[in-house]
């Protein structure tokens, strides 16, 4: 073990904390008014550390090799035994103060909840309850980790012993946890509380020896009075003993023990974890759990990264200035509803403040400035049944109407060079893809308005605009999930002009309009119109008529460029629903939305594209990749390869791609397997009837159940826009890789957004 096993980096600006810094709590580049969330995060180096396999009862002993405090101590002369002694000594003092010591909390299947939630036969609901922990919540776990780092630094002679007071702004569980741990360590603690703080809480804090400071609002001062007082105290030299990431990024480390315990138990019982439901008022608990699972995957522990669902208790509204790691500030509060099929629930104490700790692939809970990729993975809890069994509805990302997702992105993440697109691909388990820095949203200033805008090509989309559309889709998802129609577009009419056959695109587009309360008229076969009979009416004349019949036109055509031609003449927006061999932007927006929810990011991913590279979906997804840190692996028959002019365009857009001979030679690298047939209809015709025998797909271009089992990454996903031929056998449907039914569902949600 060496001190190189961990490093502390600012997720906002990339600042790297000096290894000898005893107080790695706040980025020095953080200044008032900055539009970046300067949150310090701990990074693990898998070359120097593995996931612990011990069975010690105390989590700070069992998982010590994952703590920065531990490696900081080793790097400054402390022994492994010395760190264990320090933990046990402090834990004993905590027990003397609170009557409870830090022990792993049970993580067990709840038969009652499994039955009540109608999930008994499909894995069940497991519960980890932190309300019986030290100080009655998970908050003490976080602060125990902070205190260990302080004590290690003091023993190393790098910090004055107890001279700087501890400080926190809280009037609930966090304050009580801070008071317990501070009392155990014999440290002075100042607690800044509002005038309306519960008298019982104040009395308990007094009894624990805390210096309680009641903060009143002063004339002319804006902001939360206790937090303003805390900031003043920190500027005067107090140590942030808080569970808010921007004030103390190290607060997450101790809380990760909760997630580590779940990882260990899941590995021991061989239970598959699909979804993790976390009660939040802040975000420290959720951030800690998710980061723990990411760490475990990075260190190649036996763990599947779960889908995260954060819920908030009814009637509880959080501080509008704070937000969950990075996937809402100032937005509506999230309302918890009974889950309908979750696998795991985690309870913390009573909600307090949202945590602003940066989570780079997990959570989304809010609006306002300073978003990061971590906002991508929180969803509402109204879920369907097990996606792997192909039953029910309500895929894993289902949104909550109370969410206001921060999905906007700058064209290039901070820290990316002139030729880079940002993001890193992490070694290790292959399942962790983290963005290099939180990306920022200035939605009103930088996102072009979609009002009246044609959707013709993904070449027209900037990076930030993809996430803006995803945000809208998330907000509207409950309508599709609950199969209920709204009235947002009750006075609007969609005109569908489909010159080519379509199942999913046309019905999803029409269904989306109905879900929003709008009306639909149009045609699905040009032969039934004057455009397809004797008159062969021109696009110009047809569109001039259609614009009188509705407010927006959705067009599919066998001629490449036809929707763009329609947009030239139409006074209403035109959406390209597929044009010959050209593009299919609505489908690929659906696909990227699915990837974003399933993987938590669109950066650091390898996408295996299998099929006819002349197809419009392949064109669109490769164009879209120019906005993300993705690599494409191209597998196709030689006669269906990328056209030279298209290759030149991809090179001009700095799209990273490799051409490979067969699927089995590269499937092990793929995070996403994106498929289209190589045996298919002629897309330049209005209708291509099947005649005679249909050719079979060569093995080089098939993705089979056996191939997925033997060579694919365990967390890779398979997408297919459908219809399929024999390139994707039906027995793949019930594997955990299959996401094309979720993809089809997302098609309705995405088209609602558009």
Mean pLDDT of 347-361: 35
pLDDT of 174 over the 60 cut = yes
Q: What is the pLDDT of residue 353?
A: 32
The two tokens of residue 617 are 């979906």
pLDDT (average), residues 156-167? 83
CA distance 406 to 326: 8
Q: Residue 684: what pLDDT?
A: 56
How large a percentage of the chain has pLDDT more than 70?
77
Q: What angle do CA 112, 113, 116 make, to 5 degrees?
A: 85
CATH of range 485-580; options 3.40.50.1370, 3.20.20.140, 3.40.470.10, 3.40.50.2300: 3.40.50.1370
pLDDT for position 695: 76
- Average pLDDT taken over every residue of the chain: 79
Q: Six-digit token pair at 203?
A: 């009395």
Which pLDDT does position 754 carry in this prediction? Answer: 93
Q: Is 499 helix (H, G, I), strand (E, B) or coil?
A: coil
Closest CA to 259 of 180, 362, 334: 362
Same topology for domains 485-580 and 599-742, yes or no?
yes
Question: Which band of pLDDT confidence, cut at 50, 70 and 90, is reported for residue 367?
Answer: very low
- The values of phi and psi at residue 729, to 5°, are -60, 155
Per-residue pLDDT, 334: 28
Q: Is the dihedral of CA 37, 42, 44, 48 positive or negative?
A: positive
- Burial tier of 202 (Cβ tally within 10 Å: 0-12, 13-18, 19+): middle
> Looking at 14-18, 160-164, 262-266, 711-715, which range is the least confident one?
160-164
Q: Are 725 and 693 in contact (CB under 8 A)?
A: no
| Rg over CA atoms, the chain | 27
C-alpha 642/C-alpha 621 separation (Å) is 13
Is residue 78 classed as helix, strand or coil in its secondary structure?
coil
To which H or E segment does residue 498 belong? strand 493-498
pLDDT value at residue 161: 66
Q: How far apart are CA 600 and CA 290, in angstroms?
A: 11
Residue 79 is classified by DSSP as -
Question: Of 215, 102, 217, 213, which Cα lies nearest the Cα of 167?
Answer: 213
32-84 pLDDT, tens digit each: 767 777 888 899 998 889 999 888 999 999 999 999 999 999 999 999 999 99
Mean pLDDT is lowest, of 298-302, 383-387, 464-468, 605-609, for 383-387
Q: How confident is the model at residue 530 (pLDDT cuts 50, 70, 90)?
A: low
pLDDT value for 417: 33
Longest Cα–Cα distance in the chain: 92
User: Between these two residues, 632 and 414, which has the higher pLDDT value?
Assistant: 632
Residue 430 pLDDT grade (very low, low, confident, very high; cuts 50, 70, 90): very low
Q: Which of 1-10, 101-110, 677-686 has the lowest mean pLDDT?
A: 677-686
**Two tokens at 244?**
């808010």
Tell me if 356 sits within 8 A of 283, measured CB to CB.
Answer: yes
| Residue for token pair 């022990």 | 103
Unique residue bearing structure tokens 């039953």: 391
Residues 573-629: pLDDT tens digits? 999 999 988 999 999 999 999 999 999 999 999 999 999 999 899 999 999 999 999
* Sign of the CA dihedral running 520, 526, 531, 533: negative
The confidence band for 380, taking pLDDT boundaries of 50, 70 and 90, is very low
Residue 300 makes CB contacts below 8 A (sequence gap 6+) with 46, 50, 51, 428, 429
Written in H, E and C, the secondary structure of 533-579 is CCCCCCHHHHHHHHHHHCCEEEEEECCCCHHHHHHHHCCCCEEEEEE
More reliable by pLDDT, 342 or 450: 450
Asked whether residue 401 carries a pLDDT value surpassing 60, the answer given is no
Whole-number pLDDT of residue 300 = 73
User: What's the CA gap between 504 and 508, in Å, rounded?
Assistant: 6
Please write the tens of the pLDDT for every residue from 334-349.
Answer: 223 333 223 455 554 4
* Residue with more model confidence, 546 or 399: 546
- β-strand partners of 555: 497, 576
Q: What is the pLDDT of residue 316?
A: 47
Provide the b/e sequence for 155-183 (b: ≥16 CB within 10 Å): bbeebeeeebbbbbbbbbbbbbbbbbbbb
- 696 alpha carbon, distance to own chain's centre: 39
pLDDT for residue 478:
86
Given pLDDT bands bounded at 50, 70 and 90, which one contains residue 416? very low
Counted residue by residue, the chain has a size of 754
Weakest-pLDDT range from 240-249, 296-305, 718-727: 296-305
pLDDT at 285 (0 to 100): 86
- What burial class does residue 739 get, using C-beta atoms within 10 Å of its C-beta: 0-12 exposed, 13-18 middle, 19+ buried? buried
Place 390 in a pLDDT band, splitting at 50, 70 and 90.
very low
Range picked from 304-318, 557-571, 675-689 for highest mean pLDDT: 557-571
CATH of 599-742, one of 3.30.470.10, 3.40.50.1370, 3.40.1440.10, 2.102.10.10: 3.40.50.1370
Question: Cα dihedral angle (344, 347, 351, 356), rounded to 10 degrees?
Answer: -60
Count Cβ atoms below 10 Å from residue 361 Cβ, excluding itself. 26
CA atoms lying within 13 Å on the CB side of residue 441: 25
Tokens of 270: 């061989």
- The secondary element (H helix, E strand) that includes residue 707 is helix 705-711
Q: Please indicate, yes or no, whether the overall pTM of this predicted structure exceeds 0.85.
A: no
User: Contact, 556 vs 506, CB < 8 A?
Assistant: yes
SS3 245: coil
pLDDT of 226 reads 93
Find the mean pLDDT for residues 310-329.
44
Listed by start position, the domains of the chain span 485-580, 599-742
Question: What 3 state SS string does 192-237 have?
Answer: EEECCCCHHHHHHHHHCCCEEEEECCCCCCCCCHHHHHHHHHHHCC
* pLDDT tops 90 at residue 672: yes
Q: Taking the chain, what is the end-to-end CA distance rounded to the nearest angstrom?
A: 52
The pLDDT value given to residue 484: 84
Contact 376, 597 (CB under 8 A): yes
Cα–Cα distance between 499 and 446 in angstroms, integer? 36
Contact 240, 182 (CB under 8 A): no
Which range among 128-132, 298-302, 361-365, 715-719 shows the weakest confidence by mean pLDDT?
Answer: 361-365
Average pLDDT on 212-223 reads: 86
Distance set, CA 40 to CA 326, 398, 519 (Å): 12, 30, 50
pLDDT at 395: 31
Residue 60's pLDDT is 97
For residue 42, what is the DSSP state?
E
Q: Is the pLDDT of residue 721 over 60?
A: yes
Tokens of 131: 């309300």
Q: Taking a C-beta distance cutoff of 8 angstroms, is the pair 102, 334 a contact? A: no
Provide the token pair at 259.
Answer: 């997630």
Q: Specify the pLDDT at position 386.
A: 30
* pLDDT greater than 60 at residue 398: no
> In this structure, how many other beta carbons lie within 10 angstroms of the beta carbon of residue 444?
8
Long-range contacts of 53-57 (CB under 8 A, 24+ apart): 57/103, 57/104
**H helical segments located in 165-198:** 173-184
Q: Looking at residues 259-279, what average pLDDT do you find?
A: 83
């Amino acid at each position: 073990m060496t001190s190189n096993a961990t490093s502390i980096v600012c997720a906002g600006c990339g600042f790297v904390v000096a290894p000898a810094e005893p107080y790695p709590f706040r980025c020095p580049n953080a200044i008032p008014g900055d539009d970046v969330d300067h949150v310090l995060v701990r990074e693990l180096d898998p070359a120097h550390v593995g996931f612990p396999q011990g069975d010690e009862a105390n989590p700070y002993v069992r998982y010590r090799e994952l703590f920065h405090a531990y490696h900081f101590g080793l790097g400054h002369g402390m022994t492994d035994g010395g760190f264990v002694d320090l933990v046990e000594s402090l834990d004993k003092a905590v027990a003397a103060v609170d009557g409870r010591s830090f022990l792993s909390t049970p993580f067990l299947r709840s038969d009652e909840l499994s039955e009540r939630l109608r999930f008994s036969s499909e894995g069940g609901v497991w519960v980890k309850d932190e309300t019986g922990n030290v100080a009655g919540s998970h908050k003490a776990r976080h602060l125990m980790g902070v205190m260990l780092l302080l004590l290690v630094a003091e023993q190393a002679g790098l910090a004055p012993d107890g001279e700087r007071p501890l400080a926190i702004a809280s009037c609930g569980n966090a304050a009580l946890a801070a008071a317990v741990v501070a009392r155990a360590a014999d440290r002075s603690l100042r607690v800044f509380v509002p005038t309306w703080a519960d008298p019982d809480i104040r009395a308990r804090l007094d009894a624990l020896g805390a210096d309680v400071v009641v903060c009143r609002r002063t004339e002319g001062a804006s902001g939360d009075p206790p937090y303003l007082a805390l900031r003043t105290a920190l500027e005067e030299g107090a140590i942030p003993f808080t569970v808010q990431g921007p004030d103390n990024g190290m607060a997450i480390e101790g809380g990760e023990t909760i997630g580590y315990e779940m990882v260990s138990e899941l590995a021991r019982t061989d239970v598959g974890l699909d979804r993790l439901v976390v009660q939040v008022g802040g975000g420290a608990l959720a951030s800690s759990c998710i980061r723990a699972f990411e760490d475990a995957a990075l260190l190649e522990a036996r763990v599947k990264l779960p889908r995260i669902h954060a819920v908030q208790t009814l009637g509880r509204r959080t501080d509008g200035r704070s937000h969950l790691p990075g996937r809402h500030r100032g937005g509506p509060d999230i309302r918890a509803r009974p889950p309908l099929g979750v696998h795991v629930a985690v309870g913390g104490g009573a909600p307090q403040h949202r945590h602003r700790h940066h989570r780079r692939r997990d959570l989304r809970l809010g609006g306002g400035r300073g978003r990061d990729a971590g906002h991508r993975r929180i969803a509402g809890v109204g879920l369907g049944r097990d996606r792997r069994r192909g039953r029910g509805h309500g895929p894993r990302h289902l949104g909550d109407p109370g969410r206001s997702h921060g999905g906007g992105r700058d064209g290039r993440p901070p820290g990316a060079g002139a030729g880079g697109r940002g993001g890193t691909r992490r070694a290790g388990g292959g399942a962790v893809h983290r963005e290099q820095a939180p990306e920022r949203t200035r939605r009103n200033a930088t996102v072009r308005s979609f009002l009246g805008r044609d959707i013709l090509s993904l070449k027209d989309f900037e990076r930030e605009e993809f996430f803006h559309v995803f945000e809208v889709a998330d907000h509207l998802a409950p309508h599709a999930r609950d199969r209920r129609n709204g009235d947002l577009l009750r006075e609007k009419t969609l005109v569908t002009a489909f010159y080519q056959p379509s199942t999913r695109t046309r019905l999803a587009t029409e269904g989306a309009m109905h879900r929003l309360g709008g009306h639909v008229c149009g045609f699905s076969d040009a032969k039934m119109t004057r455009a397809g009979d004797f008159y062969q009416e021109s696009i110009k004349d047809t569109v001039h008529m259609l614009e009188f019949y509705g407010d927006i036109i959705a067009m599919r055509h066998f001629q490449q460029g036809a929707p763009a031609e329609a947009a030239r003449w139409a006074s209403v927006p035109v959406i390209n629903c597929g044009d010959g061999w050209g593009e299919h932007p609505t489908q690929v927006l659906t696909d990227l939305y699915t990837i974003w929810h399933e993987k938590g990011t669109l950066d650091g991913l390898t996408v295996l594209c299998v099929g006819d590279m002349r197809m419009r979906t392949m064109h669109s997804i490769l164009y879209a990749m120019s906005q993300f840190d993705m690599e494409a692996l191209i597998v196709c028959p030689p006669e269906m390869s990328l056209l030279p002019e298209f290759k030149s365009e991809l090179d001009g857009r700095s799209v990273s791609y490799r051409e490979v001979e067969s699927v089995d030679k590269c499937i092990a690298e793929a995070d996403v397997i994106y498929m289209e047939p190589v045996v298919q209809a002629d897309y330049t015709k209005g209708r291509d009837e099947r005649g005679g025998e249909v050719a079979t797909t060569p093995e080089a271009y098939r993705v089979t159940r056996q191939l997925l089992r033997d060579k694919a990454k365990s967390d890779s996903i398979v997408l297919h826009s459908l219809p399929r031929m024999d390139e994707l056998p039906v027995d793949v449907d019930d594997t955990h890789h299959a996401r094309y039914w979720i993809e089809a569902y997302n098609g309705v949600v995405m088209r609602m957004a558009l």
